[in-house]
Every structure is written in C-alpha cells, then in structure tokens.
Amino acid sequence: MNKFFSLKFAEDNLTFIEQTALPLSEQYITTDNYERIAEAIEKLEIRGAPAIGIAAAFGIALSFKNHNGKDDEYFYNVSNRLRRTRPTAVNLFWALQQMEETYKNLSSNDNIYSRLKEKAIAIHNEDIKKCDLIAKNGISIFERNSRVVTHCNTGKLATGGGGTALNVIKHAFHKGLIEHVFVDETRPLLQGARLTTFELAKESIPFYLITDSTAAFLMQQNKIDVAITGADRIATNGDSANKIGTYNLAVICKYHKIPFYIAAPTTTIDFNAKSGKDIPIEERDKTEINRIKDIKVTKSVYPVYNPSFDIIPNELITGIITEDKLYNFPYNFNV
C-alpha cells in the first residue's frame, strides 16, 4: 500500500502534502519559513483543524531557527500572522497558546529554537495518540456491518495522526463493521471528492462518491445506517461548527432517524464558546464558488455568499467522540 503523510518534521524542516493538488497529483512541499506555512494554511494546502494547529506550532518554532535570542516583538508578530490564517478552527488558537506559554517560560539563556521545536513535536505526537484513542472510542457506535456517510475530510490529511471521523471508519472497516462508505463531494472545494476518496482508496475501503444533495435520497431508500463527521470548533453545550453542508446532513439524519456523530479531539472544544452563537464563521473568496480550479462556471460579477462552515445544533448530534470517551446528548463540556 502506498504510504503518505500529511505533515512531517525532519532535519529542521516541515514537509507537508499539497492538498489542493490531490488526488490527481501527490506532491510534497518542504520549508522552514513560517510565512510559507501561513500561506499554506490560508490556501488550504494544509487543512483540517488538528493539522492546522500542528503546522502553526511548527511555524512558530521555525521562525526562531535563524533568529537568535528571545525577542518578544518578533514572537508576537509571527504568532499574529499565523493567527490570522483561519478564524474558525479552534485548534489553531489552542496550539498557538501552547507555544506562547512555552515561549514565556524561556529565559534569554535558553536555546529558543530548540525548546520551541521540542514543544511543537510534542503537540504533533499528542495528536497522533488522540487520533488512535478517538478511533478506539468510536468503534462502539457500530452495532452491525454498516453503511456510513461522511462529509468533508477527517482522515490522516486533516490531522497529525490517523484522523478523527475517518479514522473511526477505517478502524471499524478493519474489524468488519463497515460495509460501504458514501462520501459527500463537499462543495465548493470538494474535500470529499478529492481527499476522502484518496484516503479510502489507499485503505482499499469500498466507497461511492456522491453529490452533497444525494445523501437524503439514499436515506429515503434505507441505504445509510449512520453518519459521522469531524468538527472545527465545539461549544461547551455541544453545538459544533464543521464544513458547510454538515448542518444539512444532520437535519436529514434527524428526519430519517439515522444517528449522526461527530469525532474530534478535546482541543476542538472552545471553553469560551457557550453555544454556536459564539463561534466565528469564516467567509472565503467568491472565486471558490464561481470557478472550479481555473474554469469559470458563472459570471464573476455575480454576488456570492461563501461561508466555509455551518453550525450543527447540539440536539441534532447523537454523540461526540473524543479521545476521552463517547459523549452523548445533552452535552456540558464545562463539567
């Protein structure tokens, strides 16, 4: 099986797979430049909430690779640059906060780069462990050989480890609990069509790629048993932000009495957000809607509304799978 990775830190460089080129071309980019890492996050060359946080942590560390001594102004300039890349994925801000706390505890006599690098590697290794635990805790949602629908990409490409929701699916498949996976294409950037299909093919897991609007028709035909997605931010009441179109999926699951689960590490929980109303929603450029790659599909002068995420109300979520355990509705993550 052809192995791949989303992020790898080696020889004082970060190497990442260029996700916008997938699945037609498997390219890797190597850099030690934090600005290049910031651009990669903005351009979705690096995407997925946990992967964004890990990349940002390495960006902070690498910014001191050739910068001697402790320099507060420089540190916060770098941190703020990375902070501006994506507003919704809370893992980004969690990772930057972890790096800031590490930096604050360093003295001018410390090897700043070495210590920051050590912390970034620890954040990456922690995510690998969390991905494995999420997969283990998620097995219990499958009572029999099931047909699953998923949205966007939640696998190895989205994390530092094996993935969140897609990792649950992969582990369940290898235990004989998954019959088939239906993959929402995930408009407008087609993360399902480009990325989830890529990962499932690598694992030899049977799947059908479908348009986002096909899921309801499949449910009407009793061809879907369970839905599972990831999340980019979870409020303390369980309201969750995920890729646009996830709310649609949750609503039709509720109507057809199909369980809808979210899988995400606890770092995705925003303890400052009491509900979905407190979660900022990123709006992206209109060219993501009026073009596919470089091909125009409508007139560029037409106005476009392009939110990258939507909010899934807690009552639509059957359970939230974390590395700690499977939480069931009602949720209260302040406890």
Which residues are known catalytic residues? 232
Say if residues 1 and 198 touch (Cβ distance below 8 Å): no
HEC string of the chain? Answer: CCCCCCEEEECCEEEEECHHHCCCCCCEEEECCHHHHHHHHHCCCCCCHHHHHHHHHHHHHHCCCCCCCCCHHHHHHHHHHHHCCCCCCHHHHHHHHHHHHHHHCCCCCCCHHHHHHHHHHHHHHHHHHHHHHHHHHHHHHCCCCEEEEECCCCCHHHCCCCCCHHHHHHHHHHCCCEEEEEEECCCCCCHHHHHHHHHHHHHCCCEEEECHHHHHHHHHCCCCCEEEECCCEECCCCCEEEECCHHHHHHHHHHCCCCEEEECCHHHECCCCCCHHHCCCCECCCHHHHEECCEECCCCCCCCCCECEEEECHHHCCEEECCCCEEECCCCCCC
CA–CA gap between residue 63 and residue 95 (Å, rounded): 15
41: left (phi over 0), alpha (psi -120 to 50) or beta: alpha
- Which residue is associated with the tokens 């651009």? 39
Residue-wise over 84-94: b if at least 16 C-beta within 10 A, else e?
A: ebbbbbbbbbb
CA–CA gap between residue 59 and residue 55 (Å, rounded): 6
